[in-house]
Amino acid sequence: MLETKKALPILFVVMFLVMVGFGIIIPVLPFYAENIGASPTQLGLLMAVYSLMQLLFAPMWGRISDRIGRKPVIMIGILGLSLSFFLMGFSSALWMLFVARIVGGILSAANMPTVMAYAADITTPEERGKGMGVIGAATGLGFIFGPAIGGVFSKTSLSMPFYIAGFSSLLTFFLVLFLLKESLTAENRHNGQKEKQSLRQSLRGAVSILFILQLFISVSLSGLEATFAYYGAKKAGLESVNLGYIFMIMGFASAFVQGGLVGRLTKKFGEGFVIQIGILISAIGFGLILLTDSFATAAIFLTIFGIGNGMIRPGVSALLTKISKSGHGSTTGLLSSFDSLGRIAGPPLGGWLFSIAIGLPYISGIILSVIAFMLYRLYTSRARKFSY
């Protein structure tokens, strides 16, 4: 096992840079696609196809990393991300953008599950929550700084952010190549057939409940992200700049909790405690959002929600990698797939609920949180009856 104190900071930087590159293009892509001729429906498909590729290919990359090692798969994912950014920057027709997003979705689906599997490889079961929290913090911080950088460079030209993101990903590729050591020894690489069998067992056993729990959490989060701009404008007169600050505050709070508090709480009380507390705080956050009437209340209430939500994914990831007998990559790949499914379903569901009544996405968030909490309780009761 690699020394955690040396490997985790490198892993943090790698994931931070990956998410910075991903975030750079977010504020620019809608306008860039519109200039090429995309309709609102086509823009929606352009965003969805990326998540669809992640849904389909994340489990595959996780399994591959269990067989050949983490480092080569992480390098493939980052290089694929870089390629997709350059392809988007060169795009002069809508079909080229779709090709770039599909290629990027297929290859970059390797990043998150493999990095999480790497964190599982280098941490003891007691430190697993800390490792997953560090990855979550890096992801959150990268997603905060990326859009800000993209907004600045978009003033030069709409294609410039794509090239900046491409070069950022290339830099990350060389960082992995020269600084990151392989975490999975040859003896620990899984036999493909055994791996498939244990994965099927996981999906039939009590552990499958944890994947479904993450799906519900992802649906509720993405529904909020898709509708809060409209909700904040109607309830508190918030504009895009205000919303940017609010999501930045929420992101910093979530990253702080994941990077520090999650590891301590997990080590002291266990993953189950962290997951349940995170779900309860998220549900409270959803309820408070219904009371939003100003910039200050929006910032406070979304921060409360962000703190709770930020505790759930690291807790679930840590618990799954401890109890599942399939390889860490297979487990985290499947978890990423469920997360992507939630991100595909959440925005249209949130938008539909918002069209009925503006508070419904957040009422549904409370309901989904309650269901997730009950699912965890169901998992604990069934876990005694299943052997992993």
- Sequence-distant (6+) residues with CB within 8 A of 102 are 49, 50, 53
Residue 326 domain flag: yes
Give the C-alpha separation, 100 to 88, whole Å: 6
Residue 221 domain flag: yes
Over the stretch 206-229, which tens digit does the pLDDT of each residue have? 788 999 999 999 999 999 988 998
Give residue 388's pLDDT.
44
Angle separating helix axes 328-356 and 295-323, nearest 10 degrees = 150
138 is in which domain, residue-wise? 1-178
Q: Report residues of the chain scoring pLDDT below 50.
A: 192-193, 197, 387-388
Residue 186 domain flag: no
Give residue 353's pLDDT.
94
Tally: H helices and E strands in the chain: 16, 0
| 89 neighbors 163 (Cβ within 8 angstroms) | yes
Q: How many domains are there within the chain?
A: 2
Give residue 306's pLDDT.
94
Give the C-alpha separation, 209 to 206, whole Å: 6
Residue 260 domain flag: yes
Say if residue 165 is in the same domain as residue 197.
no
CATH number at residue 169: 1.20.1250.20
Say if residue 149 is in the same domain as residue 202.
no
pTM to 2 decimal places: 0.88
Say if residue 149 is in the same domain as residue 259.
no
Say if residue 57 is in the same domain as residue 15.
yes
Over the stretch 252-303, which tens digit does the pLDDT of each residue have? 999 999 988 899 999 999 999 999 999 999 999 999 999 999 999 999 999 9
Domain end position, chosen among 154, 178, 202:
178
Say if residue 218 is in the same domain as residue 365.
yes
Say if residue 165 is in the same domain as residue 207.
no
Length of the chain: 388
Domain end position, chosen among 138, 154, 178:
178
Give residue 192's pLDDT.
46
Please report the DSSP string for 230-248 in residue order: HHHHHHH---HHHHHHHHH
